[in-house]
Amino acid sequence: MTLRVLLLLTLFPLSAVSAPLPVPDQGPALRIQGSNTIGAALGPALVKGLMEQQGLQGVHAEPAEGANEQRVIGKTRQGKTLTIEVDAHGSSTGFAALHKASADLAASSRPIKDSELVDLEPLGDLKSPEAEQVIAIDGLAIILNPRNPLNTLNTEQLAQIFNGEISTWEALGGIGGAIHLYARDDRSGTYDTFKDLVLSRRGKPLAASAKRFEASEQLSDAVSQDPQGIGFIGLPYVRQAKAVAIVDGDSQPMLPLNSLIATEDYPLSRRLFFYLPPTSHNPWAKALVDFTQSSKGQAIVAANGFIAQRVQAISVEPRPSMPEDYQAIAREAQRLTVNFRFEEGSASLDNKARQDVQRVVAYIKGHGKLDKQVTLVGFGDIKNDPQRAALLSKLRAMAVRRELVKSGVVLRDIRGFGAQMPVAANTADEGRIKNRRVEVWVY
């Protein structure tokens, strides 16, 4: 064996070298269908990243035959063309395409429905950890004209405002007369998010008087120039407008800060998914999922205006509304930008949490905090017996502890705060699921 080969093996062990993916003789290497939110820009950007990592040259996206359809194209060093198709017609179309075998990977801006799970049973369990992959966190800002004195709105008020039931600023304790509504168009993933998180949960349609926009920048600029305006927008597009804090149920008012969206505490946050059928034999589908979860993939997520699943430590200012014991933790430690959440009606970690265990362990090891420098803090939803709520919240923290211990983490403390400090209304299943959470604090 030559010295050059030995050096290469030392620098790049065989286990770390990924074999090049096969190039099909005809047809696309991968077909992705589903969410507009993902498919418009993020999906093609992730596909480009994977293709470039695979050494393809001249990688570029171009429109396909239909609206909201793209092809990402690249050439191998041998001059062979490879194509990946990304069609963005809405989340439900991704699951329908899997059912018809016209897609290899579904992109969705909501969790798979029970009816879709049943339809897709022949492809395996689409709720299994390998199949259901959270690829990013999305969040919306509610924006006003900078001169509007209102600083906080709750989700019930938002539904009534955008439905037209509340039609004047005076009805909200403000000034300015009639409320002017600004919304994205029906094809927009931003509109889908707002509809799902605010309007549909209360059975309300968007008022016909809302002025609709195809471009986020135009909507934001219109609100910033209209003293009576209000709109909703993705985080990168707040621009000159004013974002307000949002309250859901008994939660604290929350501004659309990256840290609160990363932990999914912010009321208008949601998960974005890839669904990979367990029976899939497409190597490009599995490779794209793995690339998306890597640091390079998550950097592309952030570059496209979404919240990447990166673990960072942040300082939290103690507030009088916090329990005294929680304030004490906040004074001494920093909170990691991840919350562990659980499957509905279960003490088992959900699929995102299983991925987050590995991210948190990597952070703890990378920052030398394996030995008694980590505290887990559990929360839950309201129970008739506060002591039972406190016990259940501590049991959730212990479920996370079991996973961390497997990787050699020795904890400093485990605390349970029951139903205190809710981040969502306990009146709906979605709110109760958000309130059942475990925070990670490092010293």
Q: Exposed e or buried b for every residue in 13-39, given b needs 16+ CB within 10 A?
A: eeeeeeeebebeeeebbbbbbbbbbbb
Residue 124 lies in a domain: yes
Answer whether residue 117 is part of any domain. Answer: yes
Residue 9 is assigned to a structural domain of this protein: no
Pick the closest to residue 103 from 274, 358, 315 (CA basis).
274
Q: Is 39 helix (H, G, I), strand (E, B) or coil?
A: helix
pLDDT of residue 347: 82
Based on the fold, state whether residues 158 and 219 are members of the same structural domain.
yes
Measured in whole angstroms, the distance separating CA 384 from the mean position of its chain's CA atoms is: 32
319 and 436 in one domain? yes
How far is residue 408's CA from residue 294's CA, in Å, rounded to a whole number?
23
Same domain, residue pair 74 and 166:
no
Burial per residue of 368-387, b for 16 or more beta-carbon CB atoms within 10 angstroms, e otherwise: ebbeebbbbbbbbbbbeeee
SS (H, E, C) 106-165: EEECCCCCHHHHHHCHHHCCCCCCCCEEEEEEEEEEEEECCCCCCCEEEHHHHHHHHHCC
pTM of the complete model: 0.86
Spell out where 109-247 has E strands: 132-144, 152-154, 180-184, 211-213, 229-234, 242-243, 245-247
pLDDT score, position 196: 84
**DSSP code at position 293:** H
CB atoms within 10 A of CB 254: 19
Does 244 reside within a domain? yes
Q: What is the pLDDT of residue 426?
A: 83
Q: Residue 143: in which H helix or E strand, if any?
A: strand 132-144
In a domain, residue 96? The reply is yes
Are 256 and 145 part of one and the same domain? yes
* β-bridge partners, 339: 439
- Compute and round to an integer the Cα radius of gyration of the chain: 23
Same domain, 345 and 397: yes
d(CA 205, CA 223): 21
Residues 398 and 346 in one domain: yes
Token code pair at residue 108: 């969705």
- Kind plus residue range of the DSSP H or E element containing 180: strand 180-184
Q: Decide if 415 is inside a domain.
A: yes
* pLDDT for 237: 87
**How far, in Å, CA of 117 to CA of 124, rounded?**
9
Q: Which CATH number belongs to the domain containing residue 378 in this structure?
A: 3.30.1330.60
Mean pLDDT of residues grouped by 10 in the chain (443 residues)? 41 49 96 92 97 98 93 96 95 95 95 95 97 95 96 97 98 93 86 89 96 91 97 90 95 94 94 97 98 97 93 96 97 98 88 96 98 97 86 95 97 96 85 93 98
Task: Using alpha carbons only, give the angle 310, 312, 316 rounded to the nearest 5 degrees.
Answer: 135
Q: What phi-psi label fits residue 206: left (phi over 0), alpha (psi between -120 and 50 degrees) or beta?
A: beta
* Total domains in the fold of the chain: 3
Give the phi and the psi of residue 280 in degrees, each rounded to 5.
-65, 135
Report residue 64 as tokens.
């396909």
In this predicted model, what pLDDT tens digit does every residue of 242-287 receive, in sequence order? Answer: 999 999 999 999 999 999 999 999 999 989 999 999 999 999 999 9
Determine the pLDDT at residue 430.
79
Tokens standing for 429?
A: 């299943």
Q: Are 196 and 268 in contact (CB under 8 A)?
A: no
Q: Residue 252's domain is classified under what CATH number?
A: 3.40.190.10
The SS3 assignment for 330 reads helix
Residues 295 and 407 in one domain: no
Specify whether 229 is located in the same domain as 257: yes
Residues 326 and 293 in one domain: no
d(CA 256, CA 269): 9
Residues 242 and 283 in one domain: no
State which residues form the domain around 78. Answer: 17-131+276-303
Within a domain: residue 10? Answer: no
Residues 286 and 339 in one domain: no
Give how far the C-alpha of residue 382 lies from the chain's centroid of Cα atoms, to the nearest Å: 25
Element (H, E) at 415: strand 413-416
Three-point CA angle 70, 115, 104, nearest 5°? 30
Q: Classify 88 as helix, strand or coil.
A: strand
Looking at the fold, whether 41 and 157 belong to one and the same domain comes out as no
Q: Which two tokens stand for residue 198?
A: 């605010």
DSSP output for 2-24 = -HHHHHHHHHS-GGGPPPPPP--
Dihedral-angle region of residue 27 (phi above 0 means left; psi in -120 to 50 means alpha; beta otherwise): left
**Would you state the structure tokens that stand for residue 233, as one six-digit string?**
């927008």
Q: Is residue 408 part of a domain?
A: yes
- Cβ atoms < 10 Å from Cβ of 232: 24
